[in-house]
Amino acid sequence: MSNNSNYLKIKKRSMFLFSLAFLSLNVFYNKPVFADGFIIPHRQKIIRPITEIPNFSVKNHFVNVDINDQFAKTTVKQIFKNDYNMDLEGTYFFPIPAEASISNFFMYMGEQKVKGKIYSKEEARKIYEDIVRKRRDPALLEYFNDGFFKASIFPIPANGQAKTELQYQQLNKANSNIFKYVYTLNTEKLSNTPLEEVSINVKIKTSKPLKSIYSPTHEIKINRINDNQAQVTYKVKNTKPNSEFILYYTVSEKDIDVNLLTYHDEIETKGYFLLMASPKFNVTNKDIAPKNIVFIIDKSGSMSGEKIDQAKDALKFCIKNLNKKDDFNIVSFSDNVESLSQELSSVNESNTKKALKFADGIEAEGGTNIDSALNTGLDFVNNSKKPATILFMTDGEPTVGIQNTEQILKNVKTYNPNKSKIFTFGVGFDVNTQFLDKISQQNHGDSEFVRPEENIESTVSNLFNKINMPVLNDINIKYSGINASDMYPKELPDLFKGSQLVILGRYTDGSRATVKISGKVGNQNKTFEYPLNFNKSENTDYLPKLWATRKIGFLLDEIRLKGSNKELVDEIIKLSKKYGIITEFTSFLVKEDTNLSAPSSTYRDSVKKKMGLAKNSSAGSWAISQSRNASKLKNQANQDSTSYLNESGETVRLDNQIQNIANKTFYQQKNIWVDGDFKDLKVIKIKVFSPAYFELSKINSINKYLSVGNDISVNIKGINIQIGRIGKENLTNAEKALLGIK
């Protein structure tokens, strides 16, 4: 196919397929290797004495996307490895989004070129069903309603590699000023070997100013270049991607813009919503509110060595990057408290030099007088009308002066009548994490903890860069026209340059609403009003899980900092089971002997016991893990909720034991994938790959669940169905009517 060939148009959601011609053996029942699509080995005669069934390995998968307004051009590059001493044969399927146009396809194997053919949706289904029947593998069921493109190519040689490159173009779906880009990455979840590297790079350029950029599926990095351009990256190694890559971006001429996504199922009375608020990127000094900022640095003896050196470097970074309209001071403390000056200093060349010299002169010695340090630091900002921020860093518990942490918390409330925001940094394992978390939460800030092997400077500088350019402070949001409830985060953060606010909540009553966002720009009160439509958005069944993730994070913090009760514990267990959100306290859900249909109260006592042990660990590695786990869940903006930090700070991943399909969660129990809603009552048992099975597969709302595996137990609209080796091969008319089969 030449570079100048005509576009191959695909009008439905479609599949791209090419055949790999090569020598092989009988691999008919071998599990295929999946790249972005998946390789299906061809049936060939057995070549002896080889007994191992060969497969390809997918080495790398790189995606580059150029978006101009609504138009997107996607380039996919993949590297396949043949690790065997023979040429191999198979068929490779490639998912393409709806309304896409293939512009180029290359396979780099010498000078050979490839030609392609488009298959209709109906032709594709017959081919898919034939593969599923013969291979006894339901993996393709998810794509039964797709067409595909087929290209015959030359073999991948023994112990060789093949590189492929595919380009396609599309118009991204748009709803008002919200645009949605989707890349089908989820076929990789069925690979039997992890990919060495997967990366997605998206360049966005828009005519109107860019506002929100958000992925509900993946943890992305956003580099905003200017008001109209941004670069989004997702990169991971040694992985099996298991979900589509979804990216939303919004455009608006407004200084602060608000956008909405909603979800409402047929059963629940309350809907779910996700609200995004973003400021313009190109802000000038006049747009940035002047602030007061005080740095409070622990210089006790335990901070000696590398810790104090990193703390000083972090402090000097902050000093060098203060805004010219800011006022600042520095407080260092051990047994006693020392400050840069007796009052706040303006930012100028002379004061900056003085501050850097003060930072260089800090030496670690003595005890830890936290109460006096906070009192001194807050006293500097109490007589000013500017918004104020305190950055407080310590590596230990109070050892001098007032040492009762509850008393210090009460004192800080008195010391802080103007409600200055306090951000805390805990360094090492000796800090009282619960104490520092309470200081930040009760004073509208946030907390960070730095393990001994981590770098203090990068942690502090990252937060400082985020909070240094405030656009709107002390935010409050009111909803009229709907009844909004159960919203997270509970405490709304400020909006900063380059940041965005993501709120998840529930709602009832009505579809059209008005949202009012109020806050302060400097000393001025501002209110912004937005008419929003709360009608159901398309393909947003991920919202309930995102909402539940944040709620669990909030409840875990409530229990950790205030104590538990049975209602909170039961709610955590219920939400964790329903949505597959695994925490250090609910990991029992992935055990094979767990009764998923049992009420939350069954596991309440064991969960409460572990939570009690955790609460008693206010310092050390486990304490830091608890704080980070809760913080991650509270601020979660994507679906990665099957991992947590254990007591040693190591990441525990449970992806291979849980699958989330649409709005359902499946747990692997004794090689059976069990739906969390399944009840072992009035069960319809159906034999896998039987005529009854394929009748089920024709129902769009069911076939996506069948792709989970050969043996599944699922609840569909209150009907309990078991798929396995034993069961009905044909359904009665009554059963067909019950299941909605015509």
453-476 pLDDT, tens digit each? 898 988 999 899 888 888 899 999
Lowest mean pLDDT among 135-144, 559-568, 606-615, 691-700: 135-144
607-655 pLDDT, tens digit each? 999 998 888 888 899 999 999 999 999 998 887 777 899 999 998 888 7
For the chain, what percent of residues have pLDDT higher than 90?
A: 51
647-677 pLDDT, tens digit each? 999 988 887 788 888 888 999 998 899 999 9
Q: Which is the CATH superfamily of the domain at 256-284+472-533?
A: Gamma-adaptin ear (GAE) domain (2.60.40.1230)
Q: Is 717 exposed, middle or buried (0-12, 13-18, 19+ CB in 10 A)?
A: exposed
Domain ranges within the chain, ordered by starting residue: 8-250, 256-284+472-533, 292-468, 543-654, 678-739
Indicate if the pLDDT at residue 416 is higher than 90: yes
Residues 536-553 as b/e (b if ≥16 CB within 10 A, e otherwise) read ebeebebbbbbbbbbbbb
580-599 pLDDT, tens digit each? 999 999 988 888 888 888 88
Indicate if the pLDDT at residue 103 is higher than 90: no
Q: What's the rounded mean pLDDT across residues 186-190?
A: 56
User: Contact, 391 vs 328, CB < 8 A?
Assistant: no
Interhelix angle 370-379/405-415, nearest 10 degrees: 10
Q: How confident is the model at residue 551 (pLDDT cuts 50, 70, 90)?
A: very high
Which pLDDT belongs to residue 185?
Answer: 79
Phi, psi at 399, each rounded to 5°: -125, -10
Q: What is the DSSP letter of 395?
A: S
For the chain, what percent of residues have pLDDT higher than 70?
A: 84
Q: What's the rounded mean pLDDT across residues 221-248?
A: 90
Q: What is the DSSP letter of 229?
A: E
Q: Identify the residue with better confidence: 605 or 145.
A: 605
Which pLDDT belongs to residue 105?
Answer: 74
Tell which CATH architecture fits domain 292-468: 3-Layer(aba) Sandwich (3.40)
Indicate if the pLDDT at residue 11 is higher than 90: no
Indicate if the pLDDT at residue 31 is higher than 60: no
Q: How confident is the model at residue 96 (pLDDT cuts 50, 70, 90)?
A: low
**Helix, strand or coil, per DSSP, at residue 154:** coil
Which pLDDT belongs to residue 112?
Answer: 58
Q: Quick one: tokens of 186?
A: 């989820």
Same fold, 256-284+472-533 and 292-468: no
**Helix, strand or coil, per DSSP, at residue 63:** strand
Sequence-distant (≥ 6) Cβ neighbours of residue 147 within 8 angstroms: 10, 12, 13, 14, 15, 118, 119, 120, 121, 123, 124
Its pTM stands at: 0.85
Q: What angle do CA 193, 196, 201 make, to 5 degrees?
A: 125
CATH number for the domain formed by residue range(s) 8-250: 2.60.40.3680
Q: What's the rounded mean pLDDT across residues 475-491?
A: 95
Which pLDDT belongs to residue 30?
Answer: 35
Q: How far is residue 585's CA from residue 572's CA, in Å, rounded to a whole number?
A: 9
Query: Helices in 304-445 by DSSP H: which ranges?
Result: 306-320, 349-360, 370-379, 405-415, 433-442
Q: What's the rounded mean pLDDT across residues 572-587?
A: 92
Indicate if the pLDDT at residue 218 is higher than 60: yes
Lowest mean pLDDT among 281-295, 432-446, 465-479, 674-688: 281-295
